[in-house]
Amino acid sequence: MLRNPRVPDDFVNYRLLRLFALAGAPVVRLCEGRYGVTRREFRLLCLVVDGGPVSPSRLSELAHLDPARASRVIAALARKRLVRREVQDGDRRFALIAATREGVALHKELFPQIADINRGVVSVLDAGQVKALDQILSVLTRHAEVVNSSIVLDVGADRQRGRRSSDDDPA
């Protein structure tokens, strides 16, 4: 099925998306419903708490986000007082993003709950399957990066209009 898909549900990305949606739903409810942060915001907060102050550009790389999207998430975290910008050498162009006490406290409270959800999802696997899954995901991710950089480079998506960006506008 995965090597020779016959229907969309045979596509590996659709299967992973379904798993992501099902396993992620309780995380979304927890993050947004109880703590008022998105999963993406919490992901960046984790990177800052775990790694210490970091530049916005490095944070976007670590989170695998484009710089504009990372900037919006950083701004949202700053509005929520979970991170702060620390200007370096008096030059606003050079800043580090650091977690606030509130951000560290949120991380300390929320991370174990999300880890419990993760443990629940993988609890049906034995130790060998968990190790194999980890290796398989790493291999697929590295190869997807190669595929992504080499296929369909001449077409951009126009998601606002739900069509290819190369389509002509109707007259």
Give DSSP secondary structure letters for 55-97.
-HHHHHHHTT--HHHHHHHHHHHHHTTSEEEEEETTEEEEEEE
- Domain contains 95: yes
Q: Who's near 115: CB < 8 A, 6+ residues apart?
A: none
How many structural domains comprise the chain?
1
Express each pLDDT in 132-158 by its tens digit.
999 999 999 999 999 888 877 766 666
- Domain contains 113: yes
pLDDT at 74 over 70: yes
Could you tell me if residue 97 is left (phi over 0), alpha (psi between -120 and 50 degrees) or otherwise beta?
A: beta
- What CATH number is attached to the domain comprising 138? 1.10.10.10
Q: What are phi and psi of 66, to 5 degrees?
A: -70, 155
Express each pLDDT in 39-70 by its tens digit.
999 999 999 999 999 999 999 999 999 999 99
- Domain contains 158: no
Identify which has the larger pLDDT, 155 or 23. Answer: 23
- Domain contains 162: no
Q: Which domain covers residue 61, as residue numbers? A: 8-151
- Domain contains 166: no
The four Cα atoms 22, 24, 30, 31 give a dihedral, to 10 degrees, of -150
- Domain contains 38: yes
- Cross-strand partners of 108: none
- Domain contains 79: yes
Structure tokens at 10: 């045979």
- Domain contains 170: no
